[in-house]
Structure 1
Amino acid sequence: MSGWRIGLALVALSILAGVPWYGSDVLVQFGINALLLAVLAQGWNIIGGYTGYPSFGNSVFYGLGGYGVAIAMVQWRLPFAVGLFFGVALALLFALVLGLPVLRLKGHYFAIATLVLSQVMTAIVSNLRLAGQNIGLVLPPLNNDPLFYELALALLASATLTIFWLTRSRFGFGLIAIRENEEAAAVMGVNTTWYKVLAFALSGLFSALAGGIHAYWITFLDPASAFDLGLNVKMIIMAVFGGPGTVLGPVVGALSLAAVSEFLASEVTSIAGLFFGVVIVVAVVLMPLGLADMLRRFRTTGWRYFIENIRAHRL
């Protein structure tokens, strides 16, 4: 990465870090939510963008991270940090145990299998007394939004640096090889099974940490909200809109779509629910490889970029 890009990233990070000091309470609360969504989009980017496996099961990791914090703090009276560790341990165990059989599937078979995981986990947790069953758990309040904001920002920075590392590591090259041609990658000596499981686990790690921070922030958790499939759809749309398989694409996609969605929800509530559906159509038709690809190619091809994509979809 060139020096000016590093400098620009540091300036952007400094501006974001200062929001709790110069922004309103509403802006800080919006920032927490948007930053955590960006973390989820980056987490999905590892398994979906770099490995090429369209996972609909990352909401399970998010829920396990939240329940790890909730159970540790409410049932066992342990600190928040211990709860985060417990939630991550649950997510990694889930990724390793179920990743081996599920990641043997490909394409829509894998997508359907992961789609079912959140529903199964909702049913399991709803019958666990330790997890509060259907009623859920109420966490002890901590009225410190600036702290949660900085935690979310630090987590996003860590996730983005991990993605940057992937683009320059043997492990990352292996994931890209699997995405492009899994059979050829296996012939070249890539242990595709373990690479995919490790990518699934790494994706789950960031999702679980985001879920744990969010659970403590809102101080309430129940199975329906913890394993919400709609959240998984959001993280996929944000990553695809920004540019899957890129370092900053999912971050830009998440922050921009979160801002527009928040505006529509407050100003034009009647069409806010249609927003993400429209985004899917626009992204698939006009810029199938996301904002990152569009910005890179638009400088050389101009409006032909959109015309070529429209023709490719025969519209």
Structure 2
Amino acid sequence: MKARYAALVVVAGLLLAAVPWLGSDVLTQFGISALLLAVLAQGWNIIGGYTGYASFGNSVFYGLGSYGVGIAMVQWQQPFAVGLAFGVLMAVVFAVVLGLPVLRLRGHYFAIATLALAQVMIAIVSNIGLAGRNIGLVLPPLNNDPLFYELSLGLLALTTLCVFWLAHSRFGFGLIAIRENEEGAAVMGVNTTLYKVMAFALSGVFSALAGGIHAYWITFLDPESAFDISLNVKMIIMAVLGGSGTVLGPIVGAFTLSALSEVLASEITSLASLFFGLVIVVAVVFMPRGLADVLRRSRKAGWRYFIENIRAHRL
């Protein structure tokens, strides 16, 4: 069974890698957006799915990665790789410095605290001359969508391999223990503060890398778009829909919602947001543990799986 799933993953990876060479330019551009959203969902999965801390601060990591590339390339005339490294460094420092006090909060207190971080960063960056203030930065153009597609796909593969390692490592078991019972995990010898900060920083690394790639791809960034809180909401929804706390769930959720959003936006633009929200609500009610759980359990339980979820929500 595991060999069959591994073979399916390899085949899917090869098909995705062939998109820029076999598909249209529009499909390639859509693929870049979907792959980067999948990376963000996987990054959030580390802190939200495995550690159990619903972070609304990952959009800050994304913005720091974007500005790392922008500042390095525009202000310092450094190559793209240096910008990526600078963005990752800022994200890790931010995660450690802010994570130590903020990760002492739990539940909705933690969510509210991280929710405010994006607005704070918008205000700060808007007043920094090196970051272009409110005007933003214009990066040197590179008209090479296949390159950005392969970079995005490679980053998604790296992020997924990291999540797979988490799911089978002692560190990952420690994060799951924190998610299930933090006090119990501490009693069992887990350094909960260290584990949470490391998970927060690891989540920030992948979010920053995605932000850096996206910034160079679109060649422009400003504080409002770089630290957009709605992007954080998207990563949470995609991870939860696909199945947070699983290896492939966030990827399935990201691809599904990206495709659905694209279809709705092109076919019924005026009601796209309404239908998109309705689909999300229905999905959460009928399959609260995500599509990964549906694929795993519905084959045995059939329609009873969905009926049990409806009863659980007292509908």
- What residue in structure 1 maps to residue 268 of structure 2? 268
Alpha carbons of 1:110 and 1:276: their partners in 2 closer, same or farther (altered >3 Å)?
Answer: farther
Worse overlay, 43-52 or 290-299: 290-299
How many residue pairs match? The answer is 315
1:120-159 CA-to-partner distances (Å, cap 9, x unmatched) read: 0000000000000000000000000000000000000000
- What residue in structure 2 maps to residue 147 of structure 1? 147
Structure 1 spans left out of the alignment, 5+ residues? none
- What residue in structure 1 maps to residue 68 of structure 2? 68
Structure 2 spans left out of the alignment, 5+ residues? none
Runs of 4+ in 1 over 4 A off after TM superposition: none
- What residue in structure 2 maps to residue 252 of structure 1? 252
Equivalent residues in 2 for 1:299-314, closer than 5 Å: 299-314=299-314
- What residue in structure 2 maps to residue 121 of structure 1? 121
- What residue in structure 2 maps to residue 231 of structure 1? 231
CA distance in 2, matches of 1:183, 1:278: 37
Worse overlay, 170-179 or 264-273: 264-273
Worse overlay, 298-307 or 168-177: 298-307
Which secondary structure does the structure 2 equivalent of 1:274 belong to? helix
CA distance in 2, matches of 1:214, 1:116: 23
CA distance in 1, matches of 2:8, 2:285: 31
**Would you say the 8 A contact 1:240–1:283 is kept in 2?**
no
**Would you say the 8 A contact 1:63–1:226 is kept in 2?**
yes
1:277: Cα distance to partner?
2.1
- What residue in structure 1 maps to residue 99 of structure 2? 99
TM-score (norm 1): 0.99
Q: Percent identity?
A: 79
1:20: Cα distance to partner?
0.7
Equivalent residues in 2 for 1:157-236, closer than 5 Å: 157-236=157-236
The answer to whether 1:278 aligns with 2:278 is yes
1:266: Cα distance to partner?
1.1
- What residue in structure 2 maps to residue 46 of structure 1? 46
CA distance in 2, matches of 1:23, 1:280: 29
**Would you say the 8 A contact 2:260–2:276 is kept in 1?**
no
The amino acid that maps onto 1:130 is L
1:241-277 CA-to-partner distances (Å, cap 9, x unmatched) read: 0000000000000011101101111111012122442
CA distance in 2, matches of 1:195, 1:245: 16
TM-score (norm 2): 0.99
**Would you say the 8 A contact 1:237–1:276 is kept in 2?**
no
